[in-house]
Homo-oligomer: A and B are copies of this chain.
Amino acid sequence: MEKYGYGADVGGTTVKIGFFTSSGELLEKWEIDTDTASGGEAILPDVAESIKGHMAKKGITAQDVLGVGVGVPGPVADGVVNGCVNLGWGVVDVEKMLSGLLGMNVKCSNDANVAALGELWMGGGKGSRQLVMITLGTGVGGGIVVDGKIVNGSHGAGGEVGHIRINDDETVPCGCGNCGCFEQYASATGLVRTAKRMLEESDAPSKLRDTELTSKNIWDLSKDGDTLAREITDSFCDSLGKGCAVIAAVVDPEIIVLGGGVSKAGQQLASGAQKAFLKYAFHGCRNTRFELARLGNDAGIYGCMYMLL
């Protein structure tokens, strides 16, 4: 008999909650505020209350539900979160606490990882069991899926691909303290930084000189034929392909799914990344395909649900 389940993707501002069937239909979704006061102590009770309320409204009981999958913006090992700055959390045993509050099965993983599982289950990587998802946002997040399972790593740092060093000559430090990290180039922030640098270094005319430097504006002008904007997005794709080639030499995925805000650039991004990847990748893994994420901001809740299956 078909069962139900909940996915809760916990972010620094809101918690997205999805109500699913076990076959992957998203029946309802809603958001609640993330209360980060007092070390974020209310976050899990608020999630529990929201789910209990929903179950009561629907007239379903714990027997009808597979459980709750939870994604959090921090490292998770064996269901325990080890520090989560955006939530105010130190070490929090999410699986134990939330299942205590709900009397249901709870699975917890990192948010980039659950997004990867979501895309694997119902998005750009559907049908694959070997996938890497790269989330191109303010930073670069990664989710590594091997044989259908997330690689959390032994310290919860599996898939922290944003901190692969891809440039020895960088002198500006990354947020992590090192220099030359993948996310210094292949994130929205990195794209804007590269644009500033290239605009300063060049005298070439560009509409970018009269525009606010955002990821969207840079990509839009690149597509419109602005030469310098095109050079900037080419440089972005080169860094992206280079980092992906490194990842492929470790886990050799079938598909690399590009998600996050920058992935709205669409096919030009995917083709550009694939082209650069072919330049840098080991010959044994050059058949890896690039796909765009399809679930947008819902990838996390899909992946949370998938962990329960």
Interface residues of A (CB under 8 A from B): 75, 128, 130, 142, 144, 146-147, 149, 151-165, 167-169, 176-178, 242, 245-254, 280, 282-285, 287-288
Q: Could you say which residues of chain B place their CB within 8 Å of the CB of A159?
A: 250, 252
Chain B residues contacting A288 (CB-CB under 8 Å) are 154-155
A84 to chain B, nearest CB (A): 12
- A250's nearest neighbour on chain B, judged by CB, is B250
Chain B residues lying within 8 Å of A284, measured Cβ to Cβ, are 75, 155-157, 160
On whether the beta carbons of B251 and A250 are closer than 8 Å, the reply is: yes
Give the distance to chain B from A287, nearest Cβ to Cβ, in Å: 6
A151-B146, A153-B130, A168-B168 as given contacts; A176 in contact with B283, CB under 8 Å: yes
| A287 neighbours in B (Cβ, 8 Å) | 155
Output the residue of A178, A248, A249, A254 with the most chain B CB within 10 A.
Answer: A249
Taking CB atoms, residues of chain B closer than 8 Å to A156 are: 252, 284
> Which one of A75, A158, A253 has the greatest number of beta carbons of chain B within 10 Å?
A158
Known contacts A146-B151, A284-B157, A285-B153: does B164 contact A249 (CB below 8 Å)?
yes
A123-B147 Cα distance, complex, nearest whole Å: 25
In the complex, besides A153-B252, A155-B285, A167-B168, 15 extra interface pairs with C-beta distance below 8 angstroms are A128-B154, A130-B154, A146-B151, A147-B149, A155-B252, A155-B287, A156-B252, A160-B284, A160-B285, A165-B245, A165-B246, A165-B280, A168-B168, A178-B280, A250-B251
B251 and A158 form a contact (CB under 8 A): yes
Contact B165 A242 (CB under 8 A): yes
Residue pairs across A and B with Cβ atoms less than 8 A apart, 12 shown, are A128-B154, A144-B251, A153-B285, A157-B284, A157-B285, A160-B252, A160-B285, A165-B242, A176-B282, A178-B280, A246-B250, A250-B251
